[in-house]
Structure 1
Amino acid sequence: MGIVTRGRYTINDIHYVADFDTLVLAGDTEFAKNAVFGYKSSNLRDWIEEKTGGRIPASIVASVSIELLRKGGPDAVCQHLCSLKKGSTCVVNTTSERDMAVFALGMIKVELMGKHFLCRTGASFVSSYGPTRSRT
């Protein structure tokens, strides 16, 4: 069984795009070459530094690992997010809808404690984070 076409995966902070059964570094895709929205970095920590013009250095970007998601679950995510200073930037590694759901549940736990987040995400996070309603 091959990888789902056009899926997105973040592994060890490196962002990939699936093209049938091949993972392509996001920085090597046609979208990355776009004159308006383009970028060079596939490492999301480096991408953040690139997109902020160095205002947020890659060295201070936090990360949620796949291991934390899978071994610690939502409670570990909650604890990790609570440990970050206000205004921190964080990369989340996921390769499945389950990984995304675990992260979303951990983030919701932190929000219930009164903390707030600004997220720049793909569409898969939105379906994990909140209930969707049919428009029919």
Structure 2
Amino acid sequence: MKDHRLVAELLGLLGEDGLIRLAEEHAGIRLYVPSNIDRSQLIDTVGIDIANKLSRRYGGDYISVPMVRDLRARRYRDQDGLSNSQIARRLGITESGVEKLFNRSPVKYRTKKTDDRQIEMFPSE
């Protein structure tokens, strides 16, 4: 099952560019996020800024990195100008799979609604 809450949380933490970079390197796997990134390979794959943000929020835990194919496909088409066949190769799906992604309405990733009357027990930053 897709976890839209995790995607929304990662979008808020990393931004769209950061989430796409994370997904391009680690999509579909459980990723260990170290609390100390000094000697981590995470810096090499996603950069120090993204690694720091992930470490502050998820340090010492595993996260299941979402595929976010819909988000990536739309970025590749709209900003990079790639064709459906090029997008299919990048995402590891068929061309008809890419067409199906574009025929669906875009997914809206929303964070969980919060009650303004309650304090945040575990601040993200």
Answer whether TM exceeds 0.5 for this pair: no
Give the structure with the higher percent strand: 1
> Quick one: higher RCO (CA 8 Å, sep 6+), 1 or 2?
2
Give the structure with the higher percent helix: 2
Please give the TM-score of this superposition, normalised by the length of structure 1: 0.25
